[in-house]
Amino acid sequence: MAIVPRTTRRVPRGVILSTSFRNSLLATTSHNGKVAVGGATSASRYDNQIRDIFMKCCVPLTLFFLTSLLATPGFCQKLTPVTLGLTGRSLSTLVFEMRIRKGHFKQEGLDVKLITIRQSDVIIKAIMAGELNFMSIIPTAILASVRGLPIRTIAVNQDNAPYVLVGRPQIKSMNDLKGKKIAVSSLGGMSTLVVREIVARSGLDPDRDVTYLAVGGSETRSGAMAAGFVDAALMTIPLNYAPERQGYNRLAWGPDYVRYPMNGISGSPDYFAANRDLVLAVLRGMAGGVRDVKQRKSEMITFLKSYLEVPEDEAAKSYEFLMSHMPDNMIVDDAVIRSAMEFAASALRLKPDAVPDISKVRDWSYACAATKSLRAQ
């Protein structure tokens, strides 16, 4: 049996070869069952083969994993905290919640937090004080703008408010509300003005015949009515479906009385101007959510069931409403904004010359820029 001289075999620095991998490399130099290694020439040929395999396999794999790691959202990236005020879970807030759960805002470098504040007028105060970056309650934002406060609406993801006035089982009609209590979000919010309009157009005196109690968002208002604290409550679909199944009565459908955008992005124009890139990132995240809602019906209905804790048929009905009132470009016609402004001005009993210009109420330049940059991606 011939003795094969031992030869030092070098591998590139930093590479550790397992026994099985080393044996497989040795096998590549064998011929007819005999290892053809011997002398300086064999060692050199062996070293070259190892280098070739390393360059062909290990280097590309290393680069692949490194590239994948660097592309992971949030890797070596400091997320910018963003706060968005709302009065509670609703059909309108689906877009934000879904995008947060899926991590899509993080892909924009944002750590978005939804802050629940039950009374919408308190949200306005928080925006004015710089304690919140954005708010989603468009009716309250428009009302504040008409009052002369520096609040702008820059995007809309639901162009109609699906308000429903629901009464307890013994309240069969609007006339039965005389001397009764109605739950609203806040006494200074748009929801109260909507109820007052419904009450007035039903033949009752909105100042004398009913009492308004500010209890918070739709969920809280529904709970107050179920507990007997109030006789009726203004809700948004689909939160009205469960009470109606239990014998509560639908007294009025909000869009029959007034139309205005329900949800989107509003806030301080000074903050928007000083943080333009951040604002555009938020709007890109919202625009992506609008796209997902429209393109993934089955997934969205399933999400709605879980998010709002409603049966599938109610989630499906809610989805259809949302689909029909969700603008692709996050912009609504100025006629809709003017209608909301006129309603607010009338409710506030403002003189025509006291109503601000529409440019003080809405600014679509941010939505246009965000949509354009999203298409370019």
Average confidence score pLDDT of the chain: 83
Residue 276 burial (CB count, 10 A)? 12
C-alpha torsion 325→331→332→334, nearest 10:
170
Please write the tens of the pLDDT for every residue from 295-313. 999 999 999 999 988 999 9
Phi, psi of 375 (to 5 degrees): -65, -30
Q: Cα(135)–Cα(18) distance, rounded to whole angstroms? A: 58
Residue 232, token pair as written in the block: 């009726």
Q: What is the pLDDT of residues 160-218, one digit of tens each?
A: 888 999 999 999 999 999 999 999 988 877 778 889 989 999 999 999 999 999 988 77
Topology classification of domain 80-161+260-376: D-Maltodextrin-Binding Protein; domain 2 (3.40.190)
With cut-offs at 50, 70 and 90, classify the pLDDT of residue 120: confident
pLDDT value, residue 6? 44
**Axis-axis angle for helices 365-376, 276-295 (nearest 10):** 70
Q: What does DSSP say about strands 263-267 and 134-137: parallel, antiparallel, or unpaired?
A: antiparallel
Q: How confident is the model at residue 53 (pLDDT cuts 50, 70, 90)?
A: low
pTM, two decimals, is 0.72
Domain spanning 163-256 has what CATH number?
3.40.190.10
The domain limits of the chain are: 1-63, 80-161+260-376, 163-256
Task: Report H helices in 120-229.
Answer: 120-128, 138-146, 190-201, 218-226
Give the range among 48-57, 103-112, 314-323 with minimum mean pLDDT. Answer: 48-57
| pLDDT value at residue 24 | 45
87 closest CA partner among 58, 61, 125, 116: 116
DSSP state of 3: P
Mean pLDDT of the 232-236 span: 93
Radius of gyration of the chain (CA): 31
Determine the pLDDT at residue 259: 81
